[in-house]
Amino acid sequence: MKQRIFSGIQPSGVIHIGNYLGAIRNWINLLDKYECIFAVVDYHAITVTYKPTELQDRILEAAKTLIAAGLEPEKCTLFVQSQIPEHTELTWIFNAITPVSDLERMTQYKDKKYQNMDNINSGLLTYPLLMASDILLYKAQVVPVGDDQVQHLELVREIARRFNNRFGVTFPEPQPLLSKAQRIRGLDGNAKMSKSQNNYIALVEEEDELWNKLRVAVTDPARKRRNDPGNPCICNIFTLHSYFSSDEEIKWVEKGCKTADIGCIDCKKTLFKNVNNHMKPLREKKKELDKNQNYVRNVLENGRKRCSRQARETMEEVREKIGVFY
Ligand code: AQP
């Protein structure tokens, strides 16, 4: 029996190469080894200000991008979180067993509070409870996460433990599977690349736009003129080379930058070539899916049906254990 993994992505904007390097590429490598469930977690995305008229498109775009990137529907289950109401039902139950102080100490909540001063809603605080439901509803044993989600996953494990102690063993304590990629910085060279920050390169960025974005991306700020030597260690463009370029090219960039033999534009042109080559098949696959929306809707509907069954079973067990009538 393969172990089950669950992971999700928010349709809070366009999927970018940070999401790809930090999460999606890792998910693709797990497809054969695990029973994989992936969700477009739209209820997580409504905790920040958004336009309801755009959300449906974003959900479909996210699903298409995931499939185009390599999440083959034959090898995994892909669905949309809001299609399965048990996610929010279980969240409520977890609300009732989780101390507020556990939620208040989450660093992501503290960060999001400051990023959304005009909309500090309780969904930002209870985000880990919905995440716990996403994972535990399917009794997933393993969760691929980036550094930023480790604290949340510890809380998920604590919630599973607390529930099991109080109501009898129901949930596994899911183990983290840490992604090797670091936190990818945005085009500003500093902040985390984020869908909501407009500092990203989309995973299916068109060729022209890709170059326009790379051309102005921040490099080593101390390298002001072409003849100044640069420091690749602090340059975000150099970090991106490490994911997309060959060892030889990386050495060439490192040496050329330190000695000022090459300028930032030469370095960016090489990165552009490699990122573009990497993305080309993804872009083409995504365009095929754009023309075949029904196929994508069917994939999501099949995913919904498969997950619904499991979600219903878990909730029947949970309702019985907590003592409500059904
Ligand atoms: N910059 C990043 N570097 C490495 N990994 C990243 N991830 C996101 N940004 C980076 C990883 O992508 C997965 C899915 O992310 P998410 O959609 O659940 O939420 P997020 O981390 O909040 O993503 P964004 O792009 O930053 O969205 P917004 O702007 O809406 O907050 C996660 O595994 C995450 O680690």
For residue range 179-218, what is the model confidence (pLDDT) as tens digits? 777 789 999 999 999 988 889 999 999 999 999 999 999 9
**Ligand 1 residue neighbourhood (C-beta within 6 Å):** 9-10, 12-13, 18-19, 21-23, 145-146, 148-149, 181, 183-184, 192-197
pTM of the model: 0.94
Residues of the chain with CATH 1.10.240.10: 207-287
Q: State yes or no: is 192 an active-site residue.
A: yes
Distance CA 103, CA 92 (A): 14
pLDDT score for 28: 96
Ligand 1 atom with the smallest distance to the CA of 181 is 4
Give me ligand 1 centre to Cα 20, in Å. Answer: 9
CA angle 185, 186, 189 (to 5 degrees): 75
Atom of ligand 1 nearest to the CA of 12: 30
**pLDDT attached to residue 182:** 72
CA distances from 251 to 189, 192, 240, 241, 254 (A): 21, 25, 13, 10, 5
Q: For tokens 């109501």, what's the residue? A: 167
Dist CA 128 CA 91 (whole Å): 9
Q: Which residues of 77-105 are buried (b: 16+ CB within 10 A; e: fewer)?
A: bbbbbbbbebbeebbebbeeebeeeebee
pLDDT of the residue at 197: 84
Write down the residue that tokens 């970090």 correspond to.
239
Q: What pLDDT, in 10s, does the model give residues 39-76?
A: 999 999 999 999 999 999 999 999 999 999 999 999 99
State residue 304's pLDDT score: 98
Residue 112 known to be catalytic: yes
Mutation to probe ligand 1, out of 10, 43, 243 (largest number of atoms < 8 A from CB): 10
Ligand 1 atom at shortest distance from the alpha carbon of 184? 3
The per-residue pLDDT for 308 is: 98
CB 186 within 8 A of CB 192: yes
Tell how far the Cα of 60 is from the centroid of ligand 1, in angstroms: 18
**Where would I find the beta strands (DSSP E) of 106-228?**
142-145, 175-178
Residue 282 backbone dihedrals phi, psi, to 5 degrees: -65, -45
The pLDDT, as a whole number, for residue 201 is 97
For residue 44, which atom of ligand 1 is closest to its CA?
18
CB atoms within 10 A of CB 245: 21
CA dihedral (287, 292, 293, 299) in degrees, to 10, reads -110
pLDDT the model gives residue 227: 87
Instruction: Write the residue with the smallest CA distance to atom 11 of ligand 1.
Output: 19
How high is the pLDDT of residue 50? 93
The ligand 1 atom at the shortest distance from the C-alpha of residue 13 is 30
CB 153 within 8 A of CB 8: no
- DSSP symbols for 231-273: -GGG-HHHHHHHHHS-HHHHHHHHHHHHHTSS-HHHHHHHHHH
| Contact predicate 66/77, CB 8 Å | no
Distance CA 216, CA 219 (A): 9
- Calculate how far, in angstroms, residue 259's C-alpha sits from the geometric centre of ligand 1: 35
Quick one: 207-287 is in which CATH superfamily? Tyrosyl-Transfer RNA Synthetase (1.10.240.10)
Distance 85 CA to ligand 1 centre (A): 24
Q: Which of 75, 113, 139, 192 is catalytic?
A: 192
pLDDT in tens, the chain (326 residues): 899 999 999 999 999 999 999 999 999 999 999 999 999 999 999 999 999 999 999 999 999 999 999 999 999 999 999 999 999 999 999 999 999 999 999 999 999 898 888 999 999 999 999 999 999 999 999 999 888 889 999 999 999 999 999 999 999 999 999 877 778 999 999 999 998 888 999 999 999 999 999 999 999 988 888 889 999 999 999 999 999 999 999 999 999 999 999 999 999 999 999 999 999 999 999 999 999 999 999 999 999 999 999 999 999 999 999 999 76
Give distance in angstroms: CA of 316 to centre of ligand 1. 33
Report the CATH architecture of 4-184+292-322.
Answer: 3-Layer(aba) Sandwich (3.40)
Choose which residue among 194, 198, 239 to substitute to test ligand 1 binding: the one with the highest number of ligand atoms within 8 A of its C-beta: 194
**Range(s) of the chain covered by CATH 3.40.50.620:** 4-184+292-322
Q: Separation of 306 CA from ligand 1 center, angstroms?
A: 26
User: For residues 239 and 39, what is the distance between their CA atoms, to the nearest angstrom?
Assistant: 29
Report pLDDT for 326.
63
> Measured between alpha carbons, how far is 286 from 232 in angstroms, rounded to an integer?
33
Nearest one of 120, 121, 131, 145 to 98, comparing CA atoms: 131
